[in-house]
Amino acid sequence: MTDLVIRPLVAGEEDLFESMPDPLPQLRKVGYADGVAGGGYRPERTWIALRDGRVVGRAAWLLPPGAAGTPWLDRFDLAAGPEVGAALLRAAHEALGGPHRYYAGLPAHWRRRPEVLAVVRAPLAAARLAGLVERGERLRCSWAGTPLLAPSGRRAFRPATDTGEIDALVARIADPDVLTGREIAQAVAGVDLATDPRAWLAGPATTWRVALAAGEPVGLAGPTGDACFPMLGYVGVLDPSARGDLLADSVAALAADGAREVVADVDAHRVAVVAELERTGFRQLRSRLIFEPAGGALSASTSDPGRPR
């Protein structure tokens, strides 16, 4: 790697960052120049690897203006081997005061797509070599107008009466099904969406939906159209059999207010929840692997992003 130059970006070099072709153009993402203009990306938090003047690696840490947390690695692309990417990350980590979380955006069903695996193996392996450990995977799903299933009739639905009812139900729901934007809420504001959703989700209590069985609450949903796009911010159930009706009711409430697309995030290991979202008409848009700092590089047995988990 004697001909490799690793350095932070200099102000005004947005075109240099963008000179590396996007290896995953099918993913929705904010352009780097737009991110700089918005204040989330900054040159001193953006690093590149150059070989013979050509960008072969790039990494950009994101922190929106006013955020209470620390920057997270948001863009990391390689046109070189994992060792180049690991060297890039290590140099940046030293300058940034240590590694931070890495949210690796990937196309939906990426493990089953050889053309995607060919692109992502190197950066994911580089992240592991640089001392980051995979801690989970989140799926973003989207409903885009698919006809909703007819209600089963086994549940009634009403708006939440007040914030006290919302908080009481949240306290009873140990493991919510859907938490859209959970990792961003944590990174930006230090909010745990599972236990304190109202600290992140704006809007009056009456926009929340309560599922009832024999008059008793069995589920809670926080659909919101007041975020950057309509979403199911929070969905949790006390009775799993209420899940399908609650999802359909929440989407219908947003659609009645004019939403043409509704997004929902779910942990990839929640197979039953993913299946219910798909029955409601949601389709996977993308995956996000969550990496966190560790004390050192992982063993070779964990370096293959395509291996079963």
In this structure, is the dihedral angle defined by the CA atoms of residues 72, 76, 82 and 87, taken in order, positive or negative?
A: negative
Residues 173, 161: Cα–Cα separation, whole Å: 18
Question: What percent of the chain clears pLDDT 90, i.e. is strictly above it?
Answer: 87
- At residue 307 the predicted structure's pLDDT band, cuts being 50, 70 and 90, is very low
- CA-to-CA distance for 240 and 273, rounded, in angstroms? 9
The number of CA neighbours under 13 Å toward the Cβ of 66 is 2
- The answer to whether the predicted template modeling score (pTM) of the entire model surpasses 0.85 is yes
Band (149; pLDDT cuts 50, 70, 90): confident
Most confident of 151-155, 202-206, 266-270: 266-270
Cβ atoms of 49 and 6 closer than 8 Å: yes
| Domains of the chain, earliest start first | 4-131+294-302 (3.40.630), 143-286 (3.40.630.30)
* Residue 233: how many other CB atoms lie within 10 Å: 30
Instruction: Provide DSSP, 140-181.
Output: EEEE-SPPPPPP-SS-EEEE-S-HHHHHHHHHH-SS-SEETT
pLDDT exceeds cutoff 50 at 305: no
